């Protein structure tokens, strides 16, 4: 995608998809699939990840930012899997 429309367009799309991902993980609690502890955990980690994504909108070093976003994605995915796995045990 960066080759076709440019780096800034790609960063904007990453930001949008990050926000949508975090909202979808939080929606699991809204629809009754998970509890409040899961919601709090995912809200905190999601907010941190969204903040990192927002930093990309004004960064001059897109490659460094992209590496941080990738690390954030891996951490967020790990936290999501752990939280969803122990979800039935949490209130």
Give pLDDT, residue 32. Answer: 87
Here the tokens at position 71 are 């690390």
Domain holding 66, by residue range, is: 2-89
Tally the domains of the chain. 1
Q: Residue range 43-69: average pLDDT? A: 91
Tens-place pLDDT, residues 13-38: 999 999 999 999 999 999 988 889 99
Q: How far is CA 58 from CA 43, 55, 63, 77, in A?
A: 24, 6, 13, 25
Contact (CB, 8 A) for 1 and 9: yes
pLDDT tens digits for 3-15? 577 888 888 999 9
The model carries a pTM of 0.85
């Amino acid at each position: 995608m960066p080759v076709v429309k440019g780096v800034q367009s790609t960063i904007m799309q990453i930001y949008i998809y990050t926000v949508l991902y975090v909202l979808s993980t939080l929606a699991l609690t809204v629809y009754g699939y998970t509890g409040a502890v899961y919601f709090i955990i995912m809200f905190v980690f999601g907010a941190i990840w969204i903040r990192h994504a927002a930093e990309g909108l004004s960064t001059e070093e897109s490659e460094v930012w992209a590496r941080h976003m990738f690390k954030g994605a891996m951490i967020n995915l790990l936290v999501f899997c752990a939280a969803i796995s122990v979800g039935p045990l949490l209130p």
